[in-house]
């Protein structure tokens, strides 16, 4: 669910369906592919180490800059599940 929430927060161009189900199905995979393409990562749809590192970097930068309370809440949830 945390990954889906992160993707949904990025906007319609990444995850237009904005479904937060906890299921990593084709819609989430497609959203990950869009995110990877946007960030210059090979768009496999697999949430592997490169993609995970980029997501973590964005979350921490957001927390550091205090730009978005949503990202603070999301990052705390990710820490709780050892993301």
Measured between alpha carbons, how far is residue 1 from residues 6, 17, 42, 52 in Å?
Answer: 9, 14, 23, 14
Which element (helix H / strand E) includes 66? Answer: none
Write out pLDDT tens, residues 31-77.
Answer: 999 999 999 999 999 999 999 999 999 988 877 666 556 666 666 67
DSSP assigned state of 15 = -
Angle between helices 49-65 and 26-39 (to 10 degrees): 70
Nearest to 78 by CA among 63, 56, 61, 58: 56
pLDDT in tens, 5-42: 999 999 999 999 999 999 999 999 999 999 999 999 99
The rounded distance, in Å, linking the Cα atoms of 21 and 63 is 25
């Amino acid at each position: 669910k945390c990954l889906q929430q992160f993707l949904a927060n990025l906007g319609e161009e990444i995850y237009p369906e904005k479904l937060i189900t906890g299921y990593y199905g084709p819609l989430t995979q497609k959203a990950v592919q869009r995110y990877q393409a946007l960030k210059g990562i090979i768009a496999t749809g697999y949430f592997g180490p490169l993609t995970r590192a980029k997501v973590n970097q964005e979350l921490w930068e957001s927390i550091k800059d205090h730009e978005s309370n949503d990202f603070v809440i999301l990052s705390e949830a990710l820490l709780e599940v050892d993301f």
